[in-house]
Amino acid sequence: MLRRGGSLVARASTGAGKTLAYGLALLDRLAPEIVDGVEGANGERDTSLRMLVLAPTPGQAEHIGLILVPYAQTVDLRVAVLGGNWGTPATEADLLITTPEQALAAVRASELKLDSVVVLVVEDVAGIEALGGLPTTETLLDHLPRDAQRVILGSAFSRAVADMIDRRVKRALRYPAEPAVTEATEQPPEQGRVGYVLIPNAERLDVLARIIAEAEEARPVVFFRSDERAAEIAEALAMRGFVAGEPGDAAVDIGIAEAGATRDELMEQVDGALGPTISFDVPPDEQTLADRHTADADAIVLIGPRELAHLREIARRAHFGLRPLPIPVETGATAIRTFRDELRRTIQEGDLGGQMLLLAPLFEEFSAAEVAAAASSLLRQRQPAQAPAEAAQHTSGRVTPAAASPAVEVGRAPATWARLYVGVGERDGVRPGDLVGAIAGESNLPGSRVGRIDIRDTFSIVEVQAEVAESVIRSVNGISIKGRSVRVDYDRGGERGRKATGAPGSVRRPVRRPAPPR
């Protein structure tokens, strides 16, 4: 259908393999025709833009470009990311990837022309909407040829997105097909529960190695998205001293499942003596999730932050429950992450003008990275050691459900709280447990970091400890709660009619609360 130029509206999220799913078909459609070994009938190459891909952020645009480049090169199509560090200029690209804001700015500056675009792809419409880019996307649609192919992808479609699609994307194939309205039927029983560890992709191998090291008699069995990926990770584990092999082999530390294998098949292969199953890569669909992890109470899926929405969707379709698991870390790793978060918050919120003047002479002698490393060394040498109770909490690092919140140490300063605006409310059927679960799951924080929750008609006010507020905003902003993509920000009052936030437009100051008794 995509090869024939048909438009598509599909529900798909990160982890489902959507970029290659549409990319390969569209690249094949746009491949230049070869006549007697020469591109085009007149031997001259067309230098006009043919495919535009919109992504929520520059980082995601870069990621999409790196995925598509190897395949585009095989059909002699040039790829560029607008504003990125790419050798191909945007004006010479066949395929351009960018954010809606960057694309519109380039159009208005006459640096980008869209009248030759054959295909428009909106890679993550829910993410674009969450970042306020939906009106810009509509404006870009006005600059496209009327007959341009349109591909709209998203983990969820809000009313605003659905309205835009109805007006702007005519005669599109919808996938999955929208079911007909029928009488309510009894929900099938839950097939099981699967734990997930939310971890940056760069740390995924470290987490897997720690799980293997702490495994007891039953050796874990790991599923990968491909046999090539399995071989790559097995080699990396071998460098750490772990032996990978067939599931059930008593001489190995970890069993590697073949691509496409199911847990039932492996159970027959090893006469039922199978260890816990782990998905190193998020399963692409609900059937794969069920095939790998049905009837395994210890099943774990390792996911990146952008893959959580996809995991929730396929778990819902497969009738699986999900439980967030804490990241297994070595002692001291939590303190390192906290230190980085404090630096990030200071850079974003602090007044650094005086410090820049103080350090200016050093910048003439050393690079900024060297100065920052030296300052970090001095600061960490002067920091007090980690409290014993806190250190004990992270010593084991096992992948188990989050325990009850620890008591606050004597002498610790009372917690400071910040109020956050969350763009879902009573109309959306949201409950306090939904908000706490979303915050805890996305930010990997215990529920004790969440305070009062005030659910209003169309939005909610949630108090979180001030030191994690920025992390919560970054992690939760743009995810789907009750099927709606939500915006999260500091509660700023004013136009939303809050009574407790002071003057219109003012920022509510964090509230200090006394620490609970031990």
Q: State mean pLDDT over 358-377.
A: 84
Residue 263: closest CA among 331, 349, 191:
191
What pLDDT score does 48 carry? 84
pLDDT tens digits along 302-320: 988 778 878 888 898 889 9
SS3 content of the chain, % helix, strand, coil (to 5): 40, 15, 45
Token representation of residue 380: 């960490």
Through-space distance between the first and last CA atoms of the chain, rounded to whole angstroms: 64
- Burial of residue 282 (CB within 10 Å: 0-12, 13-18, 19+) is buried
Q: Which two tokens stand for residue 154?
A: 């998203």
List the domain boundaries for the chain. 8-175, 193-325, 416-512
Highest mean pLDDT out of 231-240, 335-344, 406-415: 231-240
Same fold: 193-325 with 416-512: no
pLDDT tens sequence across 177-220: 554 444 444 556 777 889 999 887 778 898 899 888 888 777 89
* Class of domain 8-175 as given by CATH: alpha beta
pLDDT value for 173: 86
Are the CB atoms for 274 and 266 separated by under 8 Å? Answer: yes
Q: In CATH, what number does 193-325 get?
A: 3.40.50.300
Token reading at 440:
């805890």
Mean pLDDT score of the chain: 79
Which architecture characterizes domain 416-512 according to CATH? 2-Layer Sandwich (3.30)
Closest of 464, 454, 402 to residue 430, by C-alpha: 454
**pLDDT at site 299:** 92
Q: Supply φ then ψ for residue 29, to 5 degrees.
A: -65, -40
- The rounded percent of the chain whose pLDDT value lies above 70 is 78
The answer to whether the CB of 445 falls within 8 A of the CB of 439 is yes
pLDDT for 19 beyond 50: yes
Question: What is the per-residue pLDDT across 115-153, written as a single tens digit (0 to 9) for each?
Answer: 999 999 998 888 888 888 899 999 999 889 988 999 999
pLDDT at 316: 87
Q: For 451-500, how does the pLDDT look when each residue is reduced to its tens digit (9 = 90+)?
A: 889 999 889 999 999 888 998 998 888 888 887 888 999 987 643 434 33
